[in-house]
A and B are shown apart, each in its own frame.
Chain A
Amino acid sequence: MPFKIIASQCTSCSACEPECPNVAIREKGGTFVIDPKKCTECIGHFDEPQCVAVCPVDNTCVIDTSLPRYQAPV
């Protein structure tokens, strides 16, 4: 359940929202947030996390270390 967006760095450009294969990203309070219950780190969808790849500000979409990593269902 893993990626989060650091709100203070988010430019609110919305580029990540349509790229997320899990529809886990939405606008909240002026910036964008990732629903940790829906995020799969893009495992099974793409080679790289789409929000990280499209975000214009480096180190803004990062692994949320307070939560366990996503486990793909066996």
Chain B
Amino acid sequence: MDVSAQHDASSSNVADVGEIMQAIAEHKGCGTTGGSGKASCGSSAGQGDLPTEIWEKVKNHPCYSEEAHHHYARMHVAVAPACNIQCNYCNRKYDCANESRPGVVSEKLTPEQAAKKVLAVASTIPQMTVLGIAGPGDPLANPDKTFKTFELIYNTAPDIKLCLSTNGLMLPDHVDTIAKYNVDHVTITINMVDPEIGAKIYPWIFYKHKRYTGYEAAKILTDRQLQGLEMLTERGILCKINSVMIPGINDQHLVEVNKAVKSRGAFLHNIMPLISAPEHGTVFGLNGQRGPSAQELKALQDSCEGEMNMMRHCRQCRADAVGLLGEDRSAEFTTEKIMAMEVKYDADTRKAYQAKVEEERVAKVTAKQEELAELAGASSDIKVLVAVATKGSGLINEHFGHAKEFQVYELSTAGAKFVGHRRVDLYCQGGYGEEDSLETIIRAINDCHAVFVAKIGGCPKGDLIKAGIEPVDQYAHEFIEKSAISWFKAYLDKVNGGEIAHVERGDAAIRQGALISAA
């Protein structure tokens, strides 16, 4: 859809659920229902446009709504260790407690342990609204464990949304069970719709008691994935498609994948960068296959956006991650600690807390609209990226030295648009800044004109300025979008007044290695 449509709505200064829904609609993929091409989210009418049942499904789901991911948390339980396909970007042997990437997990859980963990986390983190099963293998290669876990949680904490993430090979066999347990979000990883390309990504699959390789394996996989997707969307289950962008193998092809999944009713497309380093021990890591740069990834996401809405806030998290996207609190909830906990599930406290979160969301939207009104009438082709240090709630509330990631917004006269995030190593360890990590941070946000922080020391400040990135701390603890728009307005004024010249920034690197700093 045309992103500017959302900002057209800003002429009215009324913050309501409709405006928030409009933000959701941006990420929903217009006209994805049966490929009818109904561009409903282009209008500014708000709530009336998005069917209430869809709004209810995505409004608290951090993985399905960029807007929600600032406020709500998710957790994964690692009950599904077995897998039925081999991917060249995955190596299941690698397990590091400090690393966050798919397929990695510190301990396996039984369904009963998982259910207790979910209740323990839900009681400690009231904004935890979503429970996903994502492995570390494939949930549907472990159907008994997966569905037993869903059953236990469905019976004790029915307000928690259930979702699962699968490679799709066994999906058609389990669609009815998925529907039975009210799992209304399913993610399928689809990296290709052409088996020739698939053969370069998947060395083998295990299907009906036989190992298939090469073209034949990829053909079975793609047929089963697309069939499963169709069966789910027919039943009204929301489907997100994850695709790993592998330069030189499927990067161009993902535009085809995007069309194929859109026409089958997928709700959202998440194109993620390949994570590839020799120390991961994956085929791609060992043969030197590189991942995309930040700008290559953004260009592909931008080129697919006209077809369907794109998820850009994925953190490629662990199969046992806990917390807001971008944070991982799994270490607080080890099996040992959970089993010792006395868990009291209090649905009312959770409800009250979530009501407060909703107030926060509305306040954020109001602030953004007021600032946008100020921009109205300004016209410029200039687009800049800015990085933001945040701990969540849509606020600039993290110190530069404490940031484990930066969120990236694209600013134009149409407003502020979230376009991604960059993971970094902590700059500040025990009060001392480290020069090496500062260089990596600069490389990670090198395409940004400014970095918004709650606080920053004098030393990194100087180095950032030298690198051409303006450190901005004047909006500490204020709303991100409102502040970014206000800064952008001043930037445009300075450019127009001849005070500064607008220069394009270069590319940036996507971090590949393990998180070496303890979270």
Residues in chain A within 8 A of chain B (CB atoms)? 11-15, 18-19, 46-48, 50, 53-54, 56-57
Question: Which chain B positions have C-beta within 8 A of A48?
Answer: 210-211
Cβ distance B145 to chain A, nearest Cβ, rounded Å? 9
B437 within 8 A of A: no
Residues in B whose Cβ lies below 8 Å from that of A12: 81, 108
Known: A47-B210, A50-B209, A53-B206. A15 touches B82 (CB 8 A): yes
Other than A12-B108, A15-B82, A15-B84, give 15 A-B pairs with Cβ distance below 8 A: A11-B92, A13-B82, A13-B83, A13-B92, A14-B81, A14-B82, A15-B83, A19-B209, A46-B210, A47-B210, A50-B209, A53-B206, A54-B82, A54-B206, A56-B86
Residues of A within 8 A of B86 (CB): 56
Complex interface: chain B residues within 8 A of A15 (CB): 81-84, 137, 141, 206
B93 within 8 A of A: yes
Report A17 CB to chain B, min CB distance, Å.
8
A24 to B93, CA, bound (A): 24
- Tell me whether B82 and A57 are in contact (CB under 8 A): no
Q: Is there an interface contact between A11 and B93, defined as CB atoms closer than 8 Å?
A: yes
Q: Bound complex: CA of A54 vs CA of B86, how far in Å? A: 9
Which applies to chain A's interface (DSSP): helix, strand, loop or mixed? Answer: loop
Which chain A residues lie closer than 8 Å to B141 at the CB level? 15
B81 touches A53 (CB 8 A): no
B211 contacts A53, CB within 8 Å?
yes
**Complex Cα–Cα for A15 and B108 (A):** 13
* The 5 A-B residue pairs with the shortest CB-CB distance in the complex, in nearest-first order: A15-B82, A53-B211, A13-B81, A54-B206, A46-B209
Bound CA span A50–B206, Å: 9
Decide: A56 near B211, CB < 8 A? Known: A13-B92, A15-B137, A15-B141.
Answer: no
Residues of B within 8 A of A53 (CB): 206, 209-211
Chain B residues lying within 8 Å of A50, measured Cβ to Cβ, are 209
Task: Specify the chain B residue showing the minimal Cβ separation from A9.
Answer: B93
Q: Determine the main DSSP class of B at the interface with A.
A: loop
Minimum Cβ distance to chain A for residue B451 (Å): 40
| A-B residue pairs in contact (CB < 8 Å), sample of 14 | A11-B93, A13-B82, A13-B83, A14-B142, A15-B82, A15-B84, A15-B141, A18-B82, A46-B209, A48-B211, A53-B211, A54-B206, A54-B211, A57-B93
Which chain A positions have C-beta within 8 A of B83? Answer: 13, 15, 56
Per the bound structure, the CA–CA distance linking A69 and B92 in Å amounts to: 31
A-facing residues in B63-114 (Cβ within 8 Å) = 81-84, 86, 92-93, 108
Rounded to whole angstroms, the CA-CA distance of A12 and B107 in the bound complex is: 11
Instruction: Across the interface, name the chain B residue whose C-beta is closest to A13.
Output: B81
A50 nearest CB neighbor, chain B only: B209
A50 to B82, CA, bound (A): 14
**Quick check: A13 and B210 within 8 Å, CB to CB?**
no
Closest to B209 in A: A46
Across the interface, which residues of A come within 8 angstroms of B93, CB to CB? 11, 57
List chain B residues, Cβ under 8 A from A13: 81-83, 92, 136-137
A56 to B81 alpha-carbon distance, docked (Å)? 11
Q: Residue of A at shortest CB range from B95?
A: A11
- A56 in contact with B92 (CB, 8 Å): yes
> Residue on A with the closest CB to B93?
A11
Nearest CB in chain A to that of B144: its residue: A18
Nearest chain A CB to B167 CB, angstrom units: 13
Bound-state CA distance A47–B425 (Å) is 50
**A67 to B514 alpha-carbon distance, docked (Å):** 43
Most chain B C-beta atoms within 10 Å of own C-beta, residue among A11, A19, A53, A57? A11
Q: How far is the CA of A49 from the CA of B117 in the complex (A)?
A: 37
Asked if A54 and B84 sit within 8 Å, CB to CB, the answer is: yes
A11: chain B residues at CB < 8 Å are 92-93
CB closest chain-B residue, reference A15: B82
CA distance A53 to B108 in the complex (A): 23
Q: Nearest Cβ distance between residue A22 and chain B, in whole angstroms?
A: 14
Q: How near does chain B come to A70, taking the closest CB pair, in angstroms?
A: 18
Residue among A18, A19, A54 with the most chain B CB within 10 A?
A54
Instruction: List B residues 124-141 near A (Cβ within 8 Å).
Output: 136-137, 141
Nearest chain A residue, comparing its CB with the CB of B211: A53
B:200-255 near A, CB below 8 Å = 206, 209-211
Distance in Å from the Cβ of B496 to the closest Cβ of chain A?
59
**A57 closest partner in B (C-beta):** B93
Q: Which residues of A contact B82 (CB under 8 A)?
A: 13-15, 18, 54
Residues in chain A near residue B137, CB distance under 8 A:
13, 15
Q: Which residues of B contact A56 (CB under 8 A)?
A: 83, 86, 92
CA distance A15 to B140 in the complex (A): 12
Residues of A within 8 A of B84 (CB): 15, 54
Nearest chain A CB to B20's CB is how many angstroms away?
41
Per the bound structure, the CA–CA distance linking A17 and B81 in Å amounts to 12
* CA gap between A15 and B141 in the complex, in Å: 8
* A48 to B83 Cα, complex, angstroms: 18
Give complex CA distance A46, B210 in Å. Answer: 8
CB-CB under 8 A from A18, the residues of chain B are 82
> Which single residue of chain A is at the shortest CB-CB distance from B108?
A12
